[in-house]
């Protein structure tokens, strides 16, 4: 598949497939090996075809399946040094890491990959832009605040996979402890629907084709609510852009490049 497809997105596991003409990647490995295999099969991909896994940060919903995957498959794992160290301390296992430097482009196959810093309560979390064949794809989830640096690096993307995690009113109303609410709503937590809308508004341009909303909270958001809020930015701009939701329990819309 030449394109991208969310295998799962949310607090119970995250993994995103991206394929070009020559390279097949996973962004994060937050599902079990068996679940990842099953979801890849749904889009016609075998695990043996995956060329590399890129890791955004060390939280368990992004690395849950990494140890088992690495024990079965000899797949290079790309992470920055602090994330790699944190993963080793957490799982007691050291994959064959390929270390990148946050803020510096590296090349894998035909893809120019740029890891940029995000604002999240992890060791050194990143988002990515992937550039190939005159296509730029931006990935930014688990981000409490869209900094000017994040906005700068996501400029000019043709495809965006970005977080719309919660509705603040639903967070305040939920029965979770105060510390949970403070974390989610804080500048190192997660982007709200409104913050996502503001980010998309700043990133709109004539060649933006698809926006997929990711990491929605099952407890403090709803797909219809997220779509309605972000759609306002598109309606104001008169841009004809496809808007989709990446879900936790099933694969997302298959987006072809």
CATH number where 39 lies = 3.60.15.10
Q: How many CA atoms lie within 13 A of 108 on its CB side?
A: 23
Domain coverage including residue 225: 3-256
The domain tally of the chain equals 1
195: left (phi over 0), alpha (psi -120 to 50) or beta: alpha
Give tens-digit pLDDT for 82-123: 999 999 999 888 888 999 999 999 999 999 999 999 999 999
The answer, yes or no, to whether residue 229 has pLDDT greater than 90, is: yes
Calpha distance 239→248 (Å, rounded): 28
224: CB partners within 8 A, 6+ apart: none
The answer, yes or no, to whether residue 59 has pLDDT greater than 90, is: yes
Give tens-digit pLDDT for 178-209: 998 899 889 889 999 999 999 999 999 999 99
Judge whether 136 and 181 are in contact, CB under 8 Å. no
Give tens-digit pLDDT for 46-55: 999 999 999 9
Give tens-digit pLDDT for 122-179: 999 999 999 999 999 999 999 999 999 999 999 999 999 999 999 999 999 999 989 9
Total-model pTM: 0.96
Cα-only R_g, the chain: 17
Q: Which of 2-6, 239-243, 249-253 has the lowest mean pLDDT?
A: 239-243
3: CB partners within 8 A, 6+ apart: 18, 19, 254, 255, 256, 257
Planar angle of CA 133, 139, 142, nearest 5 degrees: 170
Q: Output phi, psi for 76, to 5 deg.
A: -65, 140
């Amino acid at each position: 598949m030449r394109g991208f497809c969310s295998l799962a997105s949310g607090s119970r596991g995250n993994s995103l497939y991206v394929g070009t003409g020559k390279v097949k990647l996973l962004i994060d490995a937050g599902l079990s090996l068996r679940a990842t295999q099953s979801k890849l099969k749904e889009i016609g991909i075998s695990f043996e075809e995956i060329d590399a896994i890129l890791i955004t940060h060390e939280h368990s919903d992004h690395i849950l399946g990494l140890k088992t995957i690495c024990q079965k498959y000899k797949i290079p794992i790309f992470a920055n040094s602090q994330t790699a160290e944190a993963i080793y301390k957490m799982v007691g296992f050291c994959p064959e890491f390929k270390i990148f430097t946050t803020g510096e482009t590296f090349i894998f196959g035909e893809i120019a990959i740029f890891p940029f810093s995000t604002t999240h309560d992890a060791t050194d979390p990143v988002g990515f832009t992937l550039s190939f064949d005159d296509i730029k794809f931006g990935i930014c989830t688990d981000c409490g605040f869209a900094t000017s640096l994040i906005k700068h690096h996501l400029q000019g993307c043709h495809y965006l996979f970005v977080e719309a995690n919660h509705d603040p009113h639903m967070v305040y109303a939920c029965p979770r402890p105060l510390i949970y609410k403070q974390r989610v709503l804080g500048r190192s937590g997660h982007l709200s629907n409104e913050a996502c809308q503001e980010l998309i508004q700043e990133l709109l341009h004539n060649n933006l084709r698809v926006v997929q909303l990711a990491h929605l909270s099952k407890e403090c958001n709803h797909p219809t609510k997220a779509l309605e809020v972000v759609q306002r930015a598109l309606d104001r701009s008169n841009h004809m852009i496809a808007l989709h939701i990446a879900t936790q329990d099933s694969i997302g819309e298959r987006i072809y490049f």
